[in-house]
Amino acid sequence: MAKEFVFRGKSIEELKGMSLNEFAELLPSRERRSILRGFTGEQKKLLDRIRKKKKNIRTHCRDLIIFPEMVGVSLKVHNGKEWVLVNIGKEMLGHRIGEFVLTRKSIKHSSPGVGATRSSAALSVR
């Protein structure tokens, strides 16, 4: 039997029925303050596009907090170089969109190439 998702003791149906201020009370203080201060123009525009169920929504707005009405929406978020597809799930509630789009690659070091350092000149080239 699958476990039902709950966020701070509330089911997803109860969360969708809440007002924005009621949902803000369930969040940590930094996110709650961000919601209660109001949204920027870019954030309002993005929320309108999400509410109208538009397809292929692209955004640079990485600081918007994920609300229950956004669950199930797919967004393309800019990471500084390219657009990364983000499918918003229930577990993402209360987080910011940008947390799920990494802006830096992980570095994978390997052996040095030819001419990388003075000491690599002594290595045999295969």
pLDDT digits 0-9 by tens, 4-35: 889 999 999 999 999 999 999 999 999 999 99
**pLDDT tens-place string over residues 28-45:** 999 999 999 999 999 999
What percent of the chain clears pLDDT 90, i.e. is strictly above it?
75
Give this prediction's pTM. 0.78
Domain boundaries, the chain: 6-102
Nearest CA among 104, 103, 99 for reference residue 88 = 99
What's the first-to-final CA gap in the chain, in angstroms?
A: 58
Asked if the 6-102 domain carries CATH number 3.40.50.300, the reply is no
**pLDDT tens-place string over residues 46-57:** 999 999 988 899
8 A C-beta contact, residue 20 and residue 67:
yes
